Amino acid sequence: MTTSPETAVRPCRRQIVIKIIGVGGAGATVVQQLQARGLANAAFAVMNTEPVELSGEYFPVDARHLRSADATAESAMAEQLPRLQAWCVDADVVFIVAGLGGKAGTTLSPLVARYAKESGALTLAFVAQPFDCEGSRRQQQARAGLNHLKAVADGVVCLPNQKILKLIDENTSLLETFKISGALLADGVRGGWQLLSYRGLIEIHFDEFRDLLRDGHTESLYATAEAAGPNRSREIVDKLLAHPLLDGGRALADAGGALVSIVGGAGLTMAEINRVMEQINRQCENAQVLMSAAIDETFGDRLAVTVIATLGEPGNRLEVNGAPSGETDLQAALLNPSDRMRPASRFVPPPPALSPEKMEELAARRGGRSRKGGVRMRQEQLPLEVISKGRFDKSEPTIYKGEDLDQPTYIRRGMVLN
């Protein structure tokens, strides 16, 4: 049976179950934008401390649980976990959207990623990182959340909000700035949905998409651009390379893999596709590039391109503190920031005297010879003055993995000073 031209230009949807969940206030706002854009065949949900206007599932979180000093992500979501598991169970792909640096999005998004992954879904998170001006505490919390998220999700696509400053001027309001951040996140999610939803004339198979990301636990970047008119293919390349996340295209040089989605109207030509891909391939010299091209007659003379690039070599699983999950450690870091931000002690204790037996043991460990029958080495205490800690006099020692970091390195490692 032959296909008529009229049928060929209609967008054909794949039978892939895509679910999108916004975690925290920022994630909920982005999901609202996505639903307003009309992403066909996508199911939506929000996990937040406050309900939002949304056609989809709502997983309420009690804010008091997130503030509790002995809480974990699981305890905060204890009543909702069965519903979350049921919501994820039939999904092929789960997109998680969150802003990092606060409590809900930072703490709960790794938990959502873990349950989505355990359900068998390909799990991809789109997250925004805080502006520098938001302070070191939010930056530290965001980095901790990002590391835990990368440890459980198949891929994490990051939007550093600081790069948005390239898109605004002195008169851009705070409200408008965060609207731009939300719109950029929504563009990334829509690009991923578009890449998976359209059955293109040149197609990326779902298995290829999955294999590029699955178990890679990589950090990714993305860019989207649209153009129209006779010079749209040249204009869209310029827009892509000017995207703040690509740093003029330099960021693509470090990519281990790249997914490219091109969608245009019935007038999309092979020459335009070739022109766009030639420039992208030139930037992604060391990357495995997969490209999809689809026709949607509703685009008219518009051309849209989305690039999702994985940074580094896919397949390297990130572990945090030796474990792939670690929600409890993350929750403790968020709920007890004073433990992480306490200044190091200024007290430098004098080195302890080592016994002759200990000296001989250390010498043997370093490949030295035993000095039986000879003069035994003895490390004396240096005449160092004990300095008061001042206002940190009652501070607890800084213990990390069983070691007191307030002690000099040569003492912790048993090094001999000659």
Q: What is the pLDDT of residues 182-232, one digit of tens each?
A: 888 888 888 888 878 777 777 777 777 777 766 555 677 888 889 998 899
Residues 43 and 190 in one domain: yes
Asked whether the beta carbons of 30 and 128 are under 8 A apart, the reply is: no
- Calpha distance 108→112 (Å, rounded): 6
Which CATH number goes with the domain that contains 104? 3.40.50.1440
Query: Which residue, 152, 182, 217, sits at the end of a domain?
Result: 217
Same domain, 309 and 256: yes
Question: Same domain for 212 and 232?
Answer: no
7, part of any domain:
no
Position 19 confidence tier, pLDDT thresholds 50, 70, 90: very high
Domain residues for the domain of 227 are: 219-314
CB contact set of 264 (below 8 Å; sequence gap of 6+): 272, 293, 295, 296, 299, 302, 303, 304
Per-residue pLDDT tens for 299-352? 889 999 988 887 765 444 333 333 333 334 444 444 444 443 433 333 334 445
Same domain, 137 and 39: yes
pLDDT digits (tens, 9 = 90+) for 133-180: 888 888 898 898 888 898 888 888 888 888 888 888 888 888 888 888
> Which among 188, 217, 246 is the end of a domain?
217
In a domain, 372, yes or no: yes
Q: Does residue 186 belong to any structural domain of this protein?
A: yes
Long-range own/partner contacts, residues 134-137 (CB < 8 A, 24 or more apart): 134/101, 136/341, 137/337, 137/341
Q: For residue 276, which of 198, 197, 223 has the smallest C-alpha distance?
A: 223
Look at 131-145, 239-253, 264-278, 310-324 and tell me which has the smallest mean pLDDT. Answer: 310-324
Is 212 domain-assigned?
yes
Q: What local confidence, expressed as pLDDT, does residue 417 receive?
A: 62
d(CA 259, CA 122): 15
First to last CA, the chain: 88
The structural domain count of the chain equals 3
Taking residue 61's Cβ as centre, other Cβ atoms within 10 Å add up to 22
Shared domain check, 377 and 387:
yes
Sorted by sequence, the CB contacts under 8 Å of residue 364 that are 6+ apart come out as 370
Mean pLDDT of the chain: 75
CATH label of the domain that carries residue 267: 3.30.1330.20
Same domain, 165 and 19: yes
pLDDT of residue 275: 92
70 plus 137 within the same structural domain: yes
Same domain, 253 and 377: no
CA distance 82 to 48: 16
Residue 4 in domain: no
* Residues 135 and 177 occupy one common structural domain: yes
Domain membership of residue 338 (yes or no) is: no
Q: Residues 77, 188: one domain?
A: yes
320 domain-assigned = no
- Domain shared by 374 and 278, yes or no: no
Clarify whether residues 236 and 212 are in a common domain.
Answer: no
399 assigned to some structural domain: yes
Nearest Cα residue to 11 out of 307, 266, 272: 266
Domain end position, chosen among 217, 242, 276: 217
